Amino acid sequence: MDKKYLIGEVAKMTGSSVKTIRYYDEIDLLKPTEYTEGGHRLYSADDIWRLELINTLRYLDFGIDEIHQLIAGELTMEKALAWQIESLETQANTLANMISILRQAEARGGDSLHYIHDLVNARTINIENRKQFIADKVEEANLFEGIPSEWTSSGWSFNPQKAKKIADALNSSISDFTNNNQILYSG
């Protein structure tokens, strides 16, 4: 019989917090292998390895949804890595620009607040680059396939929280519709 570990032991072994491990259980990212009679979570070596994988992906700035998709096999590792590299490169460029602005302001001295303001305004193109990057990825993933272009082309901006709420509402409606139609057509 393989050894099982309580959540506190797993937290100490992996450097994760108990709260985080419980959260991963709640969102079905990391389920315990079993529970004790008292309802305590028990984790196997495989569960601990999966948590280490999740921690590694989180360190690399992967989102929870991306990790879900990777583990479920809905997203290929190659595609996820390519997207993540592009995203991190964009962030690195933004950070490099911020550091450059601060160094230039530091070197100038004097009225550096106005100078910082002017430099930031001159570099707002980076914000547009980030928006374009996200829009390109959304388009590349065909997220709006079958939706009329006039609904997505003007004034479109991606809000992950809003998109999740919409998707959840649609899934609920589709489920209700399907269940009601099964009752109607069942016999």
Taking CA atoms, 146 is separated from 74, 122, 154, in Å, by 20, 38, 17
Q: Which residue in 163, 165, 161, 82 sits closest to 152, CA to CA?
A: 163
pLDDT digits (tens, 9 = 90+) for 62-112: 899 999 999 888 888 898 888 889 888 988 988 888 888 888 888 887 677
Contacts of 77 (CB under 8 A, 6+ apart): 70
DSSP secondary structure letter of residue 11 = H
Q: What is the mean pLDDT of residues 3-30?
A: 95
Residue 70: φ, ψ to 5°: -65, -50
Q: pLDDT band for position 185 (50/70/90)?
A: very low
The pTM (predicted TM-score) of the whole model is 0.55
- The Cα–Cα gap between 15 and 81 comes to 24
Q: Residue 156 has what pLDDT?
A: 46
Q: Residue 64 has what pLDDT?
A: 92
Alpha-helix residue ranges (DSSP H) falling in 27-154: 45-59, 64-72, 77-108, 112-122, 125-140, 149-152
Q: Residue 168 has what pLDDT?
A: 57
On whether the 5-72 domain is CATH 1.10.1660.10, my answer is yes
- The Cα–Cα gap between 24 and 10 comes to 13
| Other beta carbons less than 10 A from residue 101's beta carbon | 19
Whole-number average pLDDT of the chain: 78
pLDDT digits (tens, 9 = 90+) for 118-143: 777 766 656 667 677 777 777 777 66
Please, what is the end-to-end C-alpha distance for the chain in angstroms? 48
